[in-house]
Amino acid sequence: MTRHFDRRSFVRASAAAGLSLWLPESRRASARGYPANQKLDIAVIGVGGKGHSDTLGVASENIVALCDVDARRGAATFRKFPNAKVYEDYRVLFDRERKLDAVVIATPDHSHAPPAVRAIQRGLHVYCQKPLTHTVEEARLLRELASKHRVATSMGNHGTAYDGFREAVEVVRSGAIGAVREVHVWTDRPGGWWKQGIDRPATIEPIPATLRFDLFLGPAPYRPYHSGYTPFAWRGFWDFGTGALGDMGCHLLNLPYMALSLGVPESVAAESEGATAESPPKWSKVVYRFPARGALPPVVLTWYDGGKRPPTELVPGVAKLRAGGAILVGDKGVLYSPHDYGAVYKLLPEERYADFRPPTQTLPRGPGSVQGAKIYLEWLAHCKGGAPCMANFDYAGPLTETVLLGNVALRSGQTVRFDAAKLRATGSVAADRLLRKDYRWGFEARRGRRV
């Protein structure tokens, strides 16, 4: 195997395709730099569930404000940081907290973009949970705003900062498995995690005293309260979540997307079962077709969820696939990652790679030794003038656009052909409408019709 030749071919092909190897934010310093030993003043919006661990991830800084629409869900974080001011409404937080440096956003998917837009327009650094946004248009908007305002950004797909993930990217780029034309990624979600393929609840329940349900709805159209919406179960409703694909796609597509510089798909088609007007399907299979990128060949990437998986014949010697993972099929071998983040991998067939050694390191490794903490430390370092995060919005925006195009195909029932330059789905009015959404008054992320 001649790794040196294949890696140079990859670099040439990426350059010819107009792609960066990991799309850094123009290698520029952020608009506001800070000494490495100076603590940032950070606000966290959405502090229950994942937001709690995200707050702990940046706890080395000054946590000055915490915001959650559910006082019960946020209580543990409020207790952990008793000196932080507590808010229910992120809009009030932004109005009152005038000395912030950065914001962490861990709200439900539908409420990512509105606070992120406000933060970036104020010149605040932003860490936002995956998927970056609820719609394709919002992902483009955040990327463009972050570039304009030169703020440090990171999406919370943790695997991007894992050492094992970056090594796996290097392995693929080195040519160890040859030219890749076929990729399969899958998850067990929704499974026992949350329900999909459901209707809107027919009953109305009293709103708990600890929940500001109107603020939970945020930009979504008004509906009466039901306990089936929140917490966590919002993932199974289109108005709030993005289903199994949106929830896990930014993790599972991450490895092939970065390693192969996939860029914009030329078409996205989907099949599924059990979808309703309110809710994503019980299972889906989504096929993304990516064109050649310079000398890199076209790639067909297939997504599976809801219990569907690729055939085990793709992975020699593996009797049963794990609950989630990725398979990259090259003309020399296969990279199999039985890991949601792509941070663990093996090369197959094993006998062919018995003496394999990882290629020379070409990607920087994130700070610290605790893998789960690296994503936060990398972002904080970027906020203070360090190198851009690999999960910055220049990279995370296009990745999120690609993931969410799968949902456009699912919801429209049509093959999506995406004109990225014009931000349009060509040949389908239904698909084109699903690239964007309307907002309730007061919760806008863009100019447009309010609902």
Quickly list DSSP for 358-378.
PPPP-SPPPSSS-GGGHHHHH
CA–CA separation, 270 and 414 (whole Å) = 8
CA–CA separation, 191 and 215 (whole Å) = 28
Q: How confident is the model at residue 35 (pLDDT cuts 50, 70, 90)?
A: confident
> Do residues 7 and 174 make contact, with C-beta atoms less than 8 angstroms apart?
yes
CA nearest to 161, candidates 11, 328, 341, 361: 341
Overall average pLDDT of the 26-54 stretch: 81
Overall average pLDDT of the 86-93 stretch: 99
pLDDT at position 34: 75
| pLDDT tops 50 at residue 7 | no
Helix, strand, or coil here: 326? strand
| Other beta carbons less than 10 A from residue 228's beta carbon | 16
pLDDT at position 31: 53
CA–CA separation, 310 and 327 (whole Å) = 9
Beta pairing partners, 450:
439
| pLDDT tops 60 at residue 20 | no
pLDDT at position 27: 40
| Other beta carbons less than 10 A from residue 430's beta carbon | 13
Q: What is the DSSP letter of 70?
A: B
pLDDT at position 357: 98
pLDDT at position 396: 99
CA–CA separation, 234 and 183 (whole Å) = 29
Helix, strand, or coil here: 208? coil
Overall average pLDDT of the 197-224 stretch: 99
Beta pairing partners, 62:
41
> Do residues 56 and 116 make contact, with C-beta atoms less than 8 angstroms apart?
no
> Do residues 136 and 435 make contact, with C-beta atoms less than 8 angstroms apart?
yes
Backbone angles phi, psi at 366, to 5 degrees: -65, 160
| pLDDT tops 80 at residue 21 | no
CA–CA separation, 237 and 174 (whole Å) = 41
> Do residues 234 and 240 make contact, with C-beta atoms less than 8 angstroms apart?
yes
* Amino acid at residue number 375: I
Helix, strand, or coil here: 451? coil
Overall average pLDDT of the 185-195 stretch: 98
Structure-token pair, residue 286: 């989504």
Domains in the chain with CATH codes: 24-160+373-392 (3.40.50.720), 164-363+400-433 (3.30.360.10)
Instruction: Return all residues near 374 (Cβ < 8 A) that are at least 6 apart.
Output: 158, 161, 162, 163, 366, 367, 368
pLDDT at position 32: 61
pLDDT at position 33: 63
Q: Does 3 or 194 have the greater pLDDT score?
A: 194
CA–CA separation, 217 and 243 (whole Å) = 17
401-432: pLDDT as tens digits: 999 999 999 999 999 999 999 999 999 999 99
Angular region, 111: left φ>0, alpha ψ -120 to 50, beta rest: alpha
pLDDT at position 16: 37
Q: Does 275 or 7 have the greater pLDDT score?
A: 275
CA–CA separation, 21 and 261 (whole Å) = 7
CA–CA separation, 396 and 128 (whole Å) = 10
Q: How confident is the model at residue 30 (pLDDT cuts 50, 70, 90)?
A: low
| pLDDT tops 60 at residue 84 | yes
Structure-token pair, residue 396: 């995370």
237-275: pLDDT as tens digits: 999 999 999 999 999 999 999 999 999 999 999 999 999
Instruction: Return all residues near 232 (Cβ < 8 A) that are at least 6 apart.
Output: 49, 194
CA–CA separation, 68 and 230 (whole Å) = 13
> Do residues 243 and 236 make contact, with C-beta atoms less than 8 angstroms apart?
yes
349-373: pLDDT as tens digits: 999 999 999 999 999 999 999 999 9
pLDDT at position 4: 30
